């Protein structure tokens, strides 16, 4: 189900919105109630957009976070919002984990972020029909390969079929090259699984 702009991937993805707003200020000067109100506003915007698409707001979930930095830095770290004190402690810990140290500098709030997600769709994949293994439709000669390379049509491959590289698997929007030393196996829904032997 891979390929160019997989419709299955689009249908299986949870509907959602990611919203952000810039508020550069010392985190110590930001009142928790103000930050909560700004995040509430962003969350309501996201829920309204999903509601227009037909999703029930009661089924939506929100993740709230802030981008923080030490005063004078140009880069930020994203930290879940848990109120000013807890978020500041979390920022120091994350900075120390990522960079090996934390600084004794004031922490600045840079961006507010809210991710709103609707419910996931229940996608059921059909399994491939039981058919004989697909056979090569031709052979090709490729630079660097000392043998004729079998060429398969992807739509003729059967669930459980195993192909040892080198091989080419062709379809309308892609060609899969199976290197020598690799094993391709087709799973029950048609995915191509490659394993180094």
Q: Domain coordinates of the chain in residue numbers?
A: 14-117, 138-196
* pLDDT for residue 92: 97
Q: Which one, of 39, 10, 34, 62, lies nearest residue 112 by Cα?
A: 39
d(CA 195, CA 69): 43
Residue 36: which H helix or E strand, with range?
helix 32-52
pLDDT-derived band at 157 (thresholds 50, 70, 90) equals: very high
Q: Please, what is the Cα angle at 7 between 3 and 10, to 5 degrees?
A: 110
**Pairing outcome for strands 107-117 and 77-80:** unpaired
Query: For the whole model, what pTM was predicted?
Result: 0.65
pLDDT digits (tens, 9 = 90+) for 69-100: 999 999 999 999 999 999 999 999 999 999 99
Residue 168: which H helix or E strand, with range?
strand 167-170
Structure tokens at 86: 């807890």
Which residues have CB under 8 Å from 77's CB, separation 6+?
A: 67, 68, 69, 91, 94, 95, 98
Q: Is the predicted pLDDT of residue 173 greater than 90, yes or no?
A: no
- CATH class of the domain defined by 14-117: alpha beta
Backbone angles phi, psi at 157, to 5 degrees: -75, 145
Q: Is the predicted pLDDT of residue 1 greater than 60, yes or no?
A: no
């Amino acid at each position: 189900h891979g390929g160019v702009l997989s419709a299955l991937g689009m249908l299986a993805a949870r509907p959602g919105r990611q919203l952000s707003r810039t508020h550069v200020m010392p985190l110590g000067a930001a009142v928790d109630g103000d930050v909560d109100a700004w995040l509430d506003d962003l969350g309501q915007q996201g829920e309204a957009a999903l509601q227009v698409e037909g999703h029930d707001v009661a089924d939506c979930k929100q993740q709230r976070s802030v981008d923080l930095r030490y005063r004078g830095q140009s880069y930020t770290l994203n930290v879940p919002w848990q109120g000013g004190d807890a978020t500041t402690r979390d920022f120091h810990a994350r900075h120390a984990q990522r960079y090996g140290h934390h600084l004794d500098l004031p922490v600045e709030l840079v961006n507010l972020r809210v991710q709103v997600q609707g419910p996931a769709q229940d996608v059921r994949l059909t399994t491939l029909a039981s058919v004989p293994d697909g056979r090569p439709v031709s052979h090709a000669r490729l630079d660097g390969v000392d043998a004729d390379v079998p060429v398969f049509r992807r739509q003729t491959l059967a669930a459980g079929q195993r192909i040892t590289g080198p091989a080419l698997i062709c379809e309308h929007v892609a060609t899969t090259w199976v290197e020598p030393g690799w094993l391709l196996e087709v799973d029950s829904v048609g995915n191509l699984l490659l394993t180094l032997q």
